[in-house]
Chain A
Amino acid sequence: MLDINDLLNKLETELKRVIVERGLVDPLMIGVRTGGVWVAEQLHQRLGIKDELGLLDISFYRDDFSQIGVNPNVKPSHLPQDIKGRDIILIDDVFYTGRTIRAALNEIFDYGRPNQVVLAVLIERDGKQIPLCPDCVGTSISLNAGQRIKLTGPSPLGIHLQTLDAVA
């Protein structure tokens, strides 16, 4: 099954390669709440990123507001540095439909115009619904319709494969 340390090692290697390939200079790291922040905390440390980690809560930017309403557990986003002109590494735990990343990019651009954004996710699964894809992944997997991946954390970080009840 999926091993969290293997995935983090792989993602770290991938990120280092992409940082060179894309020529990122003094990048800022931003994690998407909640799972993405946990993964970002690990990578932030491993890559020795200078600036404080940014925390993004995309609740106000979701495209399903009229169906599900405001998330009562929303927390303020916290981007401590000015992102204008900066190179950004955006981190999430799972890339699935792509809608979270669309919302995250919209929110980031409301804070300012970055120079470039690289997307790194721990796990990419099938089920993409919009034309976005990650630049680096820990792994790519295929799941059945009723299955989903759940990250638990922040310490220790764990990955769980859940099978949802078909009725739900």
Chain B
Amino acid sequence: MTENIQLNSKGKLKHFLSIEGLNKTLLTEILDIAESFIGMNDQQIKKVPLLRGKTIVNLFFENSTRTRTTFELAAKRLSADVLSMSIATSSTSKGESLLDTIRNLEAMFVDMFVVRHGISGAAHFIAQHTSPHISVINAGDGQHAHPTQAMLDMFTIRQFKQDFSNLRVAIIGDILHSRVARSQIQALNILGAAEVRVLAPKTLLPSHVESLGVNVSHDLTSGLKDIDVIIMLRLQKERMTSALLPSESEYFKCFGLTEAKLKIAKPDAIVMHPGPINRGVEIDSKVADGPQSVILKQVSNGIAIRMAIMAMAMQKQGAAE
């Protein structure tokens, strides 16, 4: 129910906060529109005038390289004016509240906020309290969601595998702390993947993980059988507050993806990773840089998918009433 805030009265995208609450038609529309933005890479001038005169503010309360730069590039390629703020260096460190920061930016005639925040629900909170003409895009909130990452992953999967209905997808690693995994699982289920399998030690899985619509395995060797798409997750050392693992080397031995383990999956399986990679912790360099890896493709696709989502969210003004 609460996710309906993402859609306007005509069912069009207004905010993009979570995959939850969106349907297959809308997700497919995002993928289709992103496909056309990929074609733009042939242009000498890689810019379209869709968001000319609009102002987009990237509000990053948490560090990010890939996500922030691809959002910034996506906004610029849509001809929007964009400014990126790292909040650690701004007035919140002087005691200003989140809503006061938002109000002040609104007074500068902003049209869209792209928000990354360490607290789950932050983007949703801003969407609820911001002026009605402003769109909010979630660029990662706590352990809740990272929907644009999930969509660029879906885009990459479709690029290599076309149809979701026959696909078996394995998500491997730190599911417990991963907002990416949550959004991926939702997107894969909505798009109709044949199976989503999570492979992780028990300590890195949320309780009742099966209720998300996944099969669970704790053994990489048997768990990789028949898999078409392997999504590796980063071991989130900064979020580990208790002793969940014996050691990194032990983790690599059991759950690290090596060339030998990759052979258990289907021969044409692709290997994905949202980055940043911990080489030798969750993935061997030979696999990360190997022929089945599409990790850098994911990064390029991130620009097109973010362009599609920004453009679709900004079309609401005229289309709404």
Q: Which residue from B29, B36, B44 sits with its C-beta under 8 Å from A75?
A: B36
Given A70-B311, A74-B36, check contact A61 B319 (CB 8 Å): no
Given A77-B39, A78-B39, A111-B42, check contact A72 B32 (CB 8 Å): yes
CB-CB nearest 9 A-B residue pairs: A76-B39, A69-B315, A60-B48, A110-B45, A67-B318, A66-B318, A74-B36, A76-B36, A69-B319
CB distance from A74 to the nearest CB of B (A): 5
Residue of A nearest to B307 (CB): A60
CB distance from B51 to the nearest CB of A (A): 8
Count the B residues whose beta carbon is within 8 Å of the partner chain — how many?
Answer: 27
Residue of B nearest to A59 (CB): B36
Q: Does A106 contact B (CB under 8 A)?
A: yes
Q: Does A112 contact B (CB under 8 A)?
A: yes
Identify which of residues 31-87 in chain B touch chain A, using a CB-to-CB cut-off of 8 Å.
32-33, 35-40, 42-50
**What is the bound-complex CA distance between A78 and B38, given in angstroms?**
11
Q: Is the CB of B12 within 8 A of A74?
A: no
CB distance from B315 to the nearest CB of A (A): 3
Q: Is the CB of B35 within 8 A of A76?
A: yes
CB distance from B185 to the nearest CB of A (A): 26
Q: Which residue from A60, A65, A66 sits with its C-beta under 8 Å from B36?
A: A60
CB distance from B307 to the nearest CB of A (A): 9
Q: Which residue from A70, A106, A111 sits with its C-beta under 8 Å from B49?
A: A106
Q: Which residue from B37, B44, B48 sits with its C-beta under 8 Å from A61?
A: B48
- Per-residue CB contact flags for chain A residues 35-78 toward chain B (1 = under 8 Å, else 0) read 00000000000000000000001011100011111101111111
Q: Does A4 contact B (CB under 8 A)?
A: no
**What is the bound-complex CA distance between A112 and B39, given in angstroms?**
15
Q: Which residue from A60, A73, A75 sits with its C-beta under 8 Å from B50?
A: A60
Residues on A facing B (Cβ under 8 Å): 57, 59-61, 65-70, 72-79, 84, 106, 109-112
Contacts between chains A and B (CB distance < 8 A), count: 63
Residue of A nearest to B319 (CB): A69
Q: Does B317 contact A (CB under 8 A)?
A: yes
Q: Is the CB of B44 within 8 A of A69?
A: no
Given contacts A69-B319, A79-B42, 15 further A-B contacts (CB under 8 A): A60-B40, A60-B48, A60-B49, A60-B50, A61-B48, A66-B317, A66-B318, A72-B33, A74-B32, A74-B33, A109-B45, A111-B42, A111-B43, A111-B44, A111-B45
CB distance from A37 to the nearest CB of B (A): 15
| Set of chain A residues within 8 Å of B294, measured between Cβ atoms | none
Q: Does B190 contact A (CB under 8 A)?
A: no
| Set of chain B residues within 8 Å of A66, measured between Cβ atoms | 315, 317-318
CB distance from A119 to the nearest CB of B (A): 21
| Set of chain A residues within 8 Å of B36, measured between Cβ atoms | 57, 59-60, 74-77
